[in-house]
Amino acid sequence: MRLILLLLFWITQPPKVEVLEKQQYKALVEKGYFVIDVRTPEEFEEGHIEGAKNINVKSEAFVTEIEKLSKSDTLLVYCRSGRRSLYAAQVMVSFGFQKIYDLEGGFLKWESE
């Protein structure tokens, strides 16, 4: 019975987006997890996290592009300040992605210090 309750709890709890501080996020980047920059191509060209793939959340192709990704992979998202990436991550959760981490403060925070 306990196992059934735990399973039921896990199934009914939607995956959540976890917002990480720079050091925690950086550790996951260094482990080689897939990094998605959801800013515009122009912002991406001005600077980005090494190895990041640019998938513009404002683009009509955003959903098409994220659907190409594995829903079971751990994905790291970021934008300029954290607002667009949190929105993008929530959209991704609605499409069935399970492990999404957002960078607190976005690329601005990444470049600081």
36 forms beta bridges with 53, 77
Which residues are tagged catalytic? 79
How far apart (Å, rounded) are the C-alpha atoms in residues 80 and 72?
Answer: 26
Strand 17-20 and strand 34-37: the pairing is unpaired
The answer to whether the CB of 88 falls within 8 A of the CB of 56 is: no
Beta strands in 2-89 (DSSP E): 17-20, 34-37, 53-54, 74-78
